[in-house]
Amino acid sequence: MWGILIVGLALGLVVGLVVVSCRRINRIAKRGYRSARQTIKELRQ
């Protein structure tokens, strides 16, 4: 049971991180490319 739960969590984490990352990539492309610090600031807004 623990095994299945871990497999599920791992796959969920992979899917989640890819989805979040791709949304970020789209948002950053829309707002224009800036330095890392500036990008993080804008993403928080």
Count of residues that bind other proteins according to CB under 8 A = 26
- The answer to whether 11 contacts other proteins (rule: CB under 8 A) is yes
Confirm if 24 and 43 have CB atoms less than 8 A apart.
yes
Exposed/middle/buried for 8, CB within 10 Å: 0-12, 13-18, 19+?
Answer: exposed
Judged by CB under 8 A, the chain residues 13 through 32 that form the site for other proteins are 13-15, 17-18, 20-22, 24-26, 28-29
- Report DSSP state, residue 35: -
By CB under 8 A, name the binding residues for other proteins: 3, 6-7, 10-11, 13-15, 17-18, 20-22, 24-26, 28-29, 33-37, 39-40, 43
